[in-house]
Amino acid sequence: MSIIKINNLFKIYDGSQIEVKAVNGVDITFEEGEFTAIVGPSGSGKTTFLNLLGGLDRPTSGDVIVDNVNVWGLSGRKLIDFRLHNIGFVFQAYNLIPVLTAKENVEFIMELQGRSKQERFERTKSLLEAVGLGDRLDSRPNKLSGGQQQRVAVARALASKPKFILADEPTANLDSRSTETLLDIMETLNREENITFIFSTHDARVMNKARRIVTMEDGKILSDVHV
C-alpha cells in the first residue's frame, strides 16, 4: 500500500548570483514497510528532500501526499499536529533533550499527543527494551554512549506510532559496532512490525541493509533500484 506520493516536487533557493534547484522535479512513491536508502554525493539534495517529506521545510512547488493528506496543504497548528502523529524523525546529532532521562525523552512526544501516564510508561518501557536499553531508563544523555543515544532517538521516533520514520544520516557519528547494532534493531523493527524507514545516507553499511536504493544528484533522481 502506498503511504507517500511525491508529485513534481521542487525546492529552489535564490542566491545572489544563481538559482539553486536543491530538489528538481521529483516524482516518487513509497510503500508501507519499505527500508529505503536515499543516497548521493553531498549537495545532491537528499537531506532537503527528507526535510520536505517530513514537513520540516516548505517546497517551492509540488505535492507531498501522506496517507491521502497533502502535507503542504496544511499550515500552522494543523501541520505541527500532522507531523506529531504521523512522522518519526531520527537525526544525525541525536537531538535528545539533555536534562531529560532516556525514559523522559521517549515519553515527551506522547505527552504532547495527550496520552495517559500509564500508556506513556508502558510504551516507553517496551520501546527501550526493544532497542536494548531496558536497564537505562533513568540515564540522561551525557551518561550514554553515542550509539545508545541514537537508540533512544529511534525509540523516541517510534513512540508516536508514526506512519513512517525519516532517518537523516543516523549512523554518521557512530563507530562500526554501534552502527551494526542500530541497523540490526531498525531492520528487525522493519521486518517484524512492518515499520517504514527512509534513510538519507552516505554509509555503505546502511545501503547494504536497504531493500531499495534511490540515488539523487543535482536534486534529481538518477536511479531507483529494488534490491
SS (H, E, C) 76-127: HHHHHHHHHHHEEEECCCCCCCCCCCHHHHHHHHHHHHCCCHHHHHHHHHHH
pLDDT tens digits along 62-87: 999 998 999 999 988 999 999 999 99
pLDDT of residue 161: 87
Instruction: Count CB atoms within 10 A of the CB of residue 175.
Output: 12
pLDDT of residue 16: 67
Pairing of strands 35-39, 212-217: parallel
Contacts of residue 134, defined as CB under 8 A and 6 or more positions apart, other chains included, come to 125, 128
Residue 23: inside a domain: no
Residue 66: inside a domain: no
Q: Which amino acid belongs to residue 148? A: Q
Position 19 pLDDT exceeds 90: no
**Rounded Cα distance, 224 and 90, in Å:** 23
pLDDT of residue 115: 92
* Backbone dihedral region for residue 20 (phi beyond 0: left; psi -120 to 50: alpha; all else: beta): beta
Instruction: Report the CATH number at residue 100.
Output: 3.40.50.300
pLDDT of residue 174: 86
Pairing of strands 212-217, 220-226: antiparallel
pLDDT of residue 32: 94
Average pLDDT, integer, range 198-221: 95
With contact defined as beta carbons under 8 Å apart, do 34 and 214 qualify?
no
Residue 106: inside a domain: yes
**Rounded Cα distance, 135 and 129, in Å:** 8
pLDDT tens digits along 89-138: 998 888 899 999 999 999 999 999 999 999 999 999 999 998 999 999 99
One DSSP character per residue, the chain reads -EEEEEEEEEEEEE-SS-EEEEEEEEEEEEETT-EEEEE-STTSSHHHHHHHHTTSS--SEEEEEETTEEGGG--HHHHHHHHHHHEEEE-TT----TTS-HHHHHHHHHHHHT--HHHHHHHHHHHHHHTT-TT-TT--GGGS-HHHHHHHHHHHHHHT--SEEEEESTTTT--HHHHHHHHHHHHHHHHHH---EEEE---HHHHHH-SEEEEEETTEEEEEEE-
Residue 1: inside a domain: no
Residue 77: inside a domain: yes
Residue 39 banded pLDDT, cuts 50, 70, 90: very high
Structural domain count, the chain: 1
Average pLDDT, integer, range 179-194: 90
Domain range for 101 = 35-56+72-226
pLDDT of residue 88: 94
Residue 211: inside a domain: yes
Residue 43: inside a domain: yes
Q: What is the pTM of this model?
A: 0.91
pLDDT tens digits along 149-170: 999 999 999 998 898 999 999 9
pLDDT tens digits along 46-60: 999 999 999 999 999
Average pLDDT, the chain: 93
Residue 4: inside a domain: no
